[in-house]
Every structure is written in structure tokens, then in C-alpha cells.
């Protein structure tokens, strides 16, 4: 988008897209995964652009030899399944996931020429078919006193150092024994796809425990509320909502012993009104996470009003 377009009406452009939004939240039984090689990234036909992936990764490793080229799940769309008395009611969703790695993410999505990897298309999957697009995750964690947990990233992280973010990271293929696709003659079975779907939820619990230091027993069930993607670098992130039974003061004390505390420098527990002020200082995908949370709050409010007006329902 040009600077002249951004200046129209002095309204800043929205830095995210909501690819999926489930304000009512979906439980683990309502989220499934279709994992297959067909959802992997397709190499770009322009040789010079494709070779820049190795060049950029080499430069990054030279600056930071500790970089690890771990496997990641690649987001490649979804299929929504409706049901119930309301034909528009989403009863479950299937995430389409392929396999990628951190090296390819750095070389495509984080490439200074990242827009060159995009294909002009109205179809979202086609548009991003040459990007790594690893699926990240983020958690909206609500404490017992109604505060939301926000972290400030350290200056040592690879993306958006110093920015405010929700706790999160990535679902990890290696956590469920995935390092490559199975042979062509060996199809991914239901059991494997179920394990991958469980990892979507298990991983966000791990990230919250490791990043803010609270015990896992203090966290309630997670609900999936959607997928946000920041427009810069087309970076997708799945968001979840969960409650923590600890008071915000206790959470701050737990943070001092967090396993992954080095990834952030400060923990904030903020009421909604303060979160609205912090959200514009977040990366686009996390601003989208806040938008998903707002949709959830609106949905819950409407549900409460319906119960009041129809107490027998």
C-alpha cells in the first residue's frame, strides 16, 4: 500500500486479516487437522528469488550461530463444517497443514523481497503458495481478577523485538514425532491427524507455562477463537482463550521463574481498557488476536442478553 493510500482520511491501515473467527470458541473435539504434503510450500519458479532463501539464512546464521532450523507446521487454509439447527452454525473446523522450517520462513516471509513471493490471486492459499507461512499461536490469558496477560519481547528475539505481545509461540511437529511426510504409499492415518490436532492445544498450554511461569494446573480449558495474519510478511497465528485461576499479582510473581523468561523483559496484567491502548503497539498478527478477543466478548455479551430475554431457552 502506498503512502498516499495510507493517508486517506488519516485512518491508519488495519495491519492484520482475520482468516478465521470463532467468537463462540471451539473445543479440541471441534478442531481437526488434515496434514499432507499437498499443503507444503511450492518453490518459486524464479531461480534468483528462490536462491535468496539460502543467502538470507546464511547471513542470519553468520550473525547468530545459535539459530536452529526447526520444523514447523505450514498453514494452508481450512475447511469449515456447519451443522445443528442453524445451518450457518460452525460445528467444527479442519486446519490444512503442511510442513516447513525456520530457514524457509526467514528466507521467504522475512525476506526483504517477501512480496515477490506472493502470487496475484483472490484465492488466499494460491496467493501464499510460495511462502513458508508457519502457523504460530497466541493465548489470551485472563486472570482471576479479570486482567489479560501481555508480555514485552526482549531485544534478542528474531521478530519484533521490544514489542508487546500475547504469550505464544508455535505448535511443534517434533513434539508429535513429525520430522517429514510419510512415504507416498503410507497415508497419514486418523490417529496421526488427531495427534496433530491435540498438539494445536497442547502447544499453547506449553507456551503459556514456559513464558509466564504459571503452573499448568492453574490454567482452564483452552478454546480456539480463530486465525489472524499480519499483512506484513503474511504471518499467520492461531489464537486461543483460556482462564487462569491465579490473581494477576500471583502471575507476576510466577513470571520471575519462567522457563522462557529470556524471550521477554516484562509481564503486564491489564484490564480491557488498557489493553485497547497497548494493542496498537503489537505486531499485526497479535493485533488480530486482540480483535478476535473483542469478537468473543461481543458474542458472550449477546449470549447473556439472549438468556435474559429468553430464560427458558
Task: Tell me the average confidence (pLDDT) per consecutive run of 10 residues in the chain, 313 residues long.
Answer: 45 88 96 96 98 96 90 97 64 96 97 97 96 98 98 81 93 94 70 94 97 97 98 97 98 91 90 96 96 97 84 63
- SS3 for the chain, per residue? CCHHHHCHHHCCCCCEEEEEEEEEEECHHHEEEEECHHHCCCCCCCHHHHHHHHHHHHHHHHHCCCCCCCEEEEEEEEEEEECCCCCCCEEEEEEEEEEEEHHHHHHCCCCCCHHHHCCCCCCHHHHCCCCCCECEEEEEEECCCCCEEEEEECCCCCCCCCCEECCEECCCHHHHCCCCCCCCCCCCCHHHHHHHHHHHHHHHHHHHHHHHCCCHHHECCCEEEEEEEECHHHEEEEEEEEEECCCHHHHHHHHCCCCCHHHEEEEEEECHHHHHHHHHHCCHHHHHHHHHHHHHHHHHHHHHHHHHHCCCC
pLDDT of residue 5: 42
CB-based contact 227:134 (threshold 8 Å): no
Distance CA 40, CA 100 (A): 7
The whole-number pLDDT of residue 7 equals 44
Cβ neighbours for 73, distance < 8 A, ≥ 6 positions apart? 35, 97, 98, 99, 100, 134, 135, 170, 171, 173, 196
Backbone φ, ψ for residue 306 (5° rounding): -65, -40
β 90-101/31-35 pair status: parallel
Please, what CATH class does the domain formed by 14-309 belong to?
alpha beta
Residues 6+ apart with CB under 8 A from 84: 91
pLDDT of 184: 65
Phi, psi of 216 (to 5 degrees): -60, -30
Q: Domain limits of the chain?
A: 14-309
Q: Which three cell numbers stand for residue 51?
A: 536462491
pLDDT value of position 190: 82
pLDDT given at position 265:
92
> What is the pLDDT at residue 6?
45
Cell 491489564 locates to 270
Q: Which of the 8 DSSP states describes residue 38?
A: G
Strand positions, DSSP E, 130-205? 136-142, 148-153, 164-165, 168-169
Tell me, what's the pLDDT at 183? 76
* pLDDT for position 3: 41
Separation between Cα atoms, residue 235 and residue 274, nearest integer Å: 26
Q: What is the pTM (predicted TM-score) of this model?
A: 0.92
Amino acid at each position: 500500500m502506498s503512502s498516499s493510500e495510507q493517508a486517506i482520511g488519516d485512518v491508519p491501515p488495519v495491519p492484520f486479516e482475520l482468516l478465521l473467527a470463532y467468537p463462540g470458541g471451539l473445543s479440541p473435539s471441534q478442531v481437526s487437522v488434515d496434514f499432507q504434503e499437498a499443503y507444503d510450500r511450492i518453490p518459486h519458479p524464479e531461480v534468483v528469488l528462490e536462491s535468496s532463501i539460502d543467502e538470507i539464512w546464511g547471513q542470519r546464521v553468520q550473525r547468530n550461530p545459535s539459530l536452529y532450523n526447526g520444523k514447523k507446521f505450514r498453514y494452508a487454509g481450512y475447511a469449515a463444517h456447519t451443522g445443528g439447527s442453524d445451518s450457518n452454525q460452525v460445528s467444527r473446523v479442519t486446519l490444512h497443514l503442511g510442513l516447513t522450517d525456520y530457514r524457509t520462513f526467514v528466507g521467504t516471509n522475512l525476506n526483504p523481497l517477501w512480496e515477490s513471493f506472493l502470487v496475484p490471486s483472490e484465492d488466499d492459499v494460491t496467493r501464499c503458495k510460495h511462502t513458508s507461512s508457519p502457523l504460530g499461536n497466541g493465548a489470551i490469558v485472563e486472570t482471576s481478577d479479570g486482567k489479560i496477560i501481555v508480555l514485552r519481547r526482549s531485544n534478542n528475539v528474531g521478530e519484533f523485538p521490544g514489542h508487546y505481545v500475547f504469550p505464544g509461540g508455535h505448535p511443534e511437529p517434533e513434539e508429535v514425532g513429525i520430522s517429514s511426510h510419510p512415504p507416498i504409499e503410507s497415508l497419514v492415518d486418523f490417529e496421526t491427524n488427531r495427534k496433530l490436532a491435540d498438539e494445536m492445544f497442547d502447544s499453547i498450554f506449553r507456551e503459556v507455562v514456559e513464558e509466564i511461569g504459571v503452573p499448568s494446573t492453574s490454567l482452564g480449558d483452552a478454546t480456539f477463537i480463530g486465525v489472524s495474519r499480519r499483512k506484513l510478511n503474511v504471518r499467520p497465528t492461531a489464537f486461543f482463550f483460556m482462564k487462569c485461576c491465579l490473581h494477576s499479582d500471583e502471575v507476576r510473581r510466577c513470571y520471575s521463574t519462567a522457563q522462557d523468561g529470556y524471550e521477554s523483559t516484562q509481564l503486564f496484567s491489564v484490564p480491557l481498557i488498557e489493553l485497547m491502548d497497548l494493542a496498537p503497539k503489537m505486531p499485526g498478527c497479535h493485533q488480530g488476536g486482540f480483535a478476535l478477543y473483542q469478537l468473543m466478548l461481543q458474542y458472550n455479551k449477546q449470549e447473556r442478553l439472549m438468556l435474559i430475554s429468553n430464560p427458558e431457552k
